[in-house]
Homo-oligomer: A and B are copies of this chain.
């Protein structure tokens, strides 16, 4: 089976249905690419497309996306509750299968170069593709948003990686990068007490002394009268699902609270679930080639 990379571009348009529909239609016609999902938020005035495919197919799809964005989006007239600096705001590439992070970093670089060349848009490389430590975190790059780009790009430390040192008049600037697959994963608790969910979140997340690659916060689900530990798993290979699941259970015990269920938001790669099964079933001779479908791929 062939290489598979995911690409999740975010555009600054979430309200004009006919425009968003045109993006979806044209993206799904690019050869070698499957449009898995598109979701738009009226309040954010932003849409997110989930594409999977080959490196070549995805780069073509991103070029098509910019072409449409420059035609239809004018950031001078854009308002929404989500921070943004570009008509195409951010384009991450994510390795899924038979693709490494290095492959995705290379794809981010060559796509960024091509976009800057064709469309005269300044592009920052971010996350694993970042060219400097202060460019790893998207919110740092985007701070000031579209309205302050002119001044930001004039600073020596904020020269773009590709393209001009001034914003595109209608399309602003973009961040293009590479990151690991993010699993949005929530654990429901046998309590309606948000304070308990927040305490568990603090105990298990990286920023306050918990597991690496885990972001977590407490959320209260009013319609269920239930508290939830809402998490992003930023690297399911290094910090697998079972470890965060069991650590949340351990911390919940302090309050006599149990995990009543889990929720996957969006999609989960099958490798993450298969590794969880291997842990819980205590498989001694575990290796991916024990899985029939993997054994087939290995033979092809």
Contact = CB atoms under 8 A, between A and B. Distances in A.
A268 interface: yes
A270 B245 contact: no
Contacts of A188: 284
A295 B264 CA distance: 14
A211 interface: no
A282 interface: yes
A57 B67 CA distance: 45
B268 A299 contact: no
Interface stretch (A83-91, A143-151, A271-279): A271-279
Contacts of A263: 283-285
Classify chain A: how many residues form its interface, as a range. 35 or more
Interface of A: 6, 34-37, 52, 96-97, 188, 241-242, 245, 259-264, 267-270, 273-274, 276-278, 280-286, 290-296, 299-300
By Cβ-Cβ distance, the 10 closest A-B pairs, closest first, are A261-B284, A280-B280, A273-B277, A276-B277, A277-B277, A267-B292, A270-B291, A273-B274, A262-B283, A261-B282
